[in-house]
Chains A and B, each alone.
Chain A
């Protein structure tokens, strides 16, 4: 027994060690070593992605899907929407998902395959702080970009004198100001104050907002000069400090968020601080977007700001985004994020943190200011076959309620509700999201539940899987939201004195698009 077990264990161990040492991921041309491991690892991540997506209609978790595709390039297009041969696009995708090790491998492989991508790859690798790979990639680069990135990498990994020599080769171009500032830092590190001050001043002459130079002057400059630099830096400090690389263009260093709670119609503003990283194509601009993100994915709501030219390498820039909260944004907590698109073409720039290119900034509370005021009596009106009708959209956040009172009781035989639900998390068919309470003069008389997938539906295309809805789809509303109509017949006609509608969910917005008390005619789809 033992005689057989020991050799088997040894062979397995040898295979594992061999696999670990010789393993190359199949996305960058791995060989047969590790295929058994790849299949198992792919299955593991793919299964986890399936587990997390909670139902066949949802998009898999992008990080888990990316980890699965790492071991099975043939499914990269299905899992990531990127063909396996497009290494730069794959690298950007892994970068934006926060999978730094995988992204670094892909950037290096992409630069080796296509030298015209090397400058961009070096900038990305520097954003990932993988300085050894930056050095490796920048070795193939000629001109100012090569000297700058080699200098930056050597600044982190080697003798300052060698780095200084490399930075001195930058010469003219967009890297000049930051190369001077970085040279100042290297001199400062070597104890040469005068020379470093000269470098900092030279850098600020070239770009008055170079962060490295401003920090250097604030540190070692003379009184008024240091104070001015500190003031300038203070202008760019934000309540929410960040360090998120956005593409190879700039770093997002911080944001000031609007205070909550925010009522509908309120004007909101986000101030962002950016640090230039690498120059883009001549004259290119970037469009900032504010949007909502959630566990269930990015909401189809965003607000664009004004396009701007990204700052030069090492320079600071303030960007502001302003918008008015629209009616379609449901009440409750929302996760606010920003994204950036390159112009022209509006291609989303990958961000080194976040989801779907959005960088999460924090959660804002949109209630209770969203609780609508009670419906006015003047809104009660006779209409067609209905006895009374709300005739306006009402948005209710979790726990919100409205009461609709009638000065004179309304006689009705049924009730029709047009509603829809927007959930932050995944909703389950049958979850109760709201109730419609009917009151007569004698008190509460009936309660109609509003359940997901039965009387109302979510934002997914069609009803919840496999569950018939008693509601009728009314057609698509704004941004893919579907209104559902459901109707109820009372056993006996009732003299209704008031209707109470309540959102009883914990994390869903309930929209009552319309509510009709039906008189006489049988309630139903033919209304």
Chain B
């Protein structure tokens, strides 16, 4: 008895992600991913040890960065005298530390990796952490596969949708020393729980799972705050409720969920609660001063910002310093516009034939992440803000929308569309790696 070909698809996806991930880990020189040095210091601080001195570590890292042509590769002038601290280093000054910016959970877990053989040395530890990130990214890919399989149960478009995890920038960030792979994993799990709740209704197990996934996300990053608006509509639309006809019970379930998350965080990890609330306040202030801030932006700012976000979503490697030639982005724009058109076609033609709620959730999820990103980072008028990686939290949702949209253009050839997306991603990865990343860094 031979296995159905669909059963091999997740393995194929994970194999591709693992392969490209390993290649990127080796091809990208140390410290050539956004904020790698500062994340590394935070992780190393959690590893502890009586001799740990952040100032000495920063000095050591700066020397190592210099050895790997860091200044030249980020486009900054090499200082005549190497600075001793990140704050005094050109370019790093903008965000010289991750401490107190993100909760500790990820950094605490990652610091355990540094106890492995080779973890004590600077570069050895860095590469171990990159492989740790790859592990998280592969788990994200598995969660993404589980999610897209729920939305596309017949699996025709599942491979195409899950191929979103092969977006080159996603793999670049997903193999760097950063909290982002952990955020992406938690977000994929939360999305999976939401999909499950949408299918099964707000059962106790689902509500608890949803709460646990959300609390875990907040313990990793404040970015999960932007996902909060997705929960009430998802609970409201959840089907086959175990509490038939009682809307107030769903509201109570939502309130209990929120209270439970709050109480749980207060009990287990209050610092992450504090950080989340402080960021919520910042978001609140940003929203209410958005008009004034956006009013003072220079003309053409949003065009520049949107283009930069689009590019860095697909690929701008290094410290966002190296884009691919414009033709790549033109082609990708056409693909994305095609997916949008396909979504519209599918909506008007057959209302997605029973998968609409999953796609609606994906759209809501992507919208929440995008809105949060634009509200929070949009009007900051800084080059470091315009980074598409902040949208990776919704990567499974983006994949679902891309596959559903392109599948909507050719409803009779969905399997082919799924395979084409997968192949397209592999081609893009190959072009980026062999055509640009390796030549740049070699």
Residues in A lying within 8 Å of B, measured CB to CB: 39-40, 42-43, 46-47, 49-57, 72, 75, 428-430, 432, 454, 462-463, 465-469, 473
Contact = CB atoms under 8 A, between A and B. Distances in A.
Nearest to B280: A51
B304 to A, nearest CB: 16
A51 B277 contact: yes
A55 B263 contact: no
Max chain B Cβ within 10 angstroms of own Cβ: one of A75, A462, A468 = A468
Nearest to A526: B77
Contacts of B289: 428
Contacts of A428: 285, 289
Contact of A39 (B267, B275, B383): B267
10 contacts: A49-B274, A51-B278, A54-B282, A54-B285, A75-B270, A428-B285, A428-B289, A463-B94, A466-B94, A466-B385
B275 A54 contact: no
A49 B95 CA distance: 24
A396 to B, nearest CB: 20
Contacts of A42: 266, 270
A312 to B, nearest CB: 46
B302 interface: no
A43 B87 CA distance: 33
Nearest to B92: A468
A52 B277 CA distance: 9
Nearest to B279: A56
Contacts of B278: 50-51, 53-56
Given A51-B278, A54-B281, A468-B94, A40 B293 contact: no
Contacts of B267: 39, 43
B333 interface: no
Given A42-B270, A43-B266, A56 B95 contact: no
Contacts of B262: 40, 43, 47
A52 B100 CA distance: 16
What are the nearest 6 A-B pairs in CB distance?
A: A43-B266, A468-B94, A50-B274, A50-B277, A47-B277, A50-B278
B95 A466 contact: yes
B96 interface: yes
Contacts of B384: 466-468
A430 B378 CA distance: 13
B383 A468 contact: yes
A56 B96 contact: no
Contacts of A52: 281
Contacts of B277: 47, 50-51
B100 A56 contact: yes
Contact of A467 (B100, B263, B382): B382
Given A47-B277, A53-B278, 5 more contacts: A42-B270, A50-B274, A51-B280, A463-B93, A469-B94
A52 B282 CA distance: 10
Contact of A468 (B93, B270, B379): B93
Interface of B: 87, 93-96, 100-101, 262-263, 265-267, 270, 273-282, 285, 289, 293, 296, 379-385
B273 A50 contact: yes
A454 B285 CA distance: 19
A55 B100 CA distance: 10
A40 B100 contact: no
A56 B272 CA distance: 11
A56 B101 contact: yes
Nearest to B88: A473
A273 B101 CA distance: 46
A463 B383 CA distance: 15
B293 A430 contact: yes
Given A51-B281, A468-B383, A462 B273 contact: no
B151 to A, nearest CB: 35
Nearest to B296: A432
Contact of A50 (B96, B275, B293): B275
A53 B94 CA distance: 21
Contacts of A51: 277-278, 280-281
Contacts of B281: 50-52, 54-55
Contacts of A57: 100
B407 to A, nearest CB: 39
Q: Is the interface of B mostly helix, strand, loop or mixed?
A: helix
Contacts of B273: 43, 46-47, 50
A473 B83 CA distance: 14
A43 B94 contact: no
A465 B277 CA distance: 16
A454 B381 CA distance: 10
A51 to B, nearest CB: 5
Contacts of A465: 95, 101
Nearest to B293: A430
Nearest to A451: B296
Nearest to B101: A56
A457 to B, nearest CB: 11
A52 B280 CA distance: 11
A454 B293 CA distance: 13
A46 B274 contact: yes
A49 B278 CA distance: 9
A46 B281 CA distance: 14
A43 B218 CA distance: 14
Contact of B380 (A75, A429, A462): A429
Max chain A Cβ within 10 angstroms of own Cβ: one of B87, B274, B282, B383 = B274
A40 B282 CA distance: 23
Contacts of B279: 56
B282 A72 contact: no
A232 to B, nearest CB: 53
Contacts of A43: 262-263, 265-267, 270, 273
Given A39-B266, A54-B281, A430-B293, A469 B274 contact: no
A47 B225 CA distance: 14
Contacts of A56: 100-101, 275, 278-279
Contacts of A50: 273-278, 281
A49 B281 CA distance: 11
Contact of A462 (B93, B275, B293): B93
Contacts of B275: 50, 56
Contacts of A39: 263, 266-267
A467 B270 contact: no
A462 B95 CA distance: 9
Contacts of B95: 465-466
B282 A468 contact: no
A507 to B, nearest CB: 15
A430 B270 contact: no
A54 B265 CA distance: 20
B61 to A, nearest CB: 18
Contacts of A47: 262, 266, 273-274, 277
A352 to B, nearest CB: 28
Max chain B Cβ within 10 angstroms of own Cβ: one of A39, A53, A454, A473 = A39
Max chain A Cβ within 10 angstroms of own Cβ: one of B263, B278, B281 = B278
A467 B94 contact: yes
B320 to A, nearest CB: 12
A322 B276 CA distance: 45
Nearest to B284: A51
A462 B100 CA distance: 15
A465 B95 CA distance: 7
A50 B381 CA distance: 26
Nearest to A430: B293
Contacts of B282: 54-55
Contacts of A473: 93
Contacts of A432: 296
Max chain B Cβ within 10 angstroms of own Cβ: one of A39, A50, A473 = A50
A54 B282 CA distance: 6
A462 B93 CA distance: 8
A439 B363 CA distance: 52
Contacts of A49: 274
Nearest to B87: A462
A56 B275 CA distance: 7
A51 B280 CA distance: 8
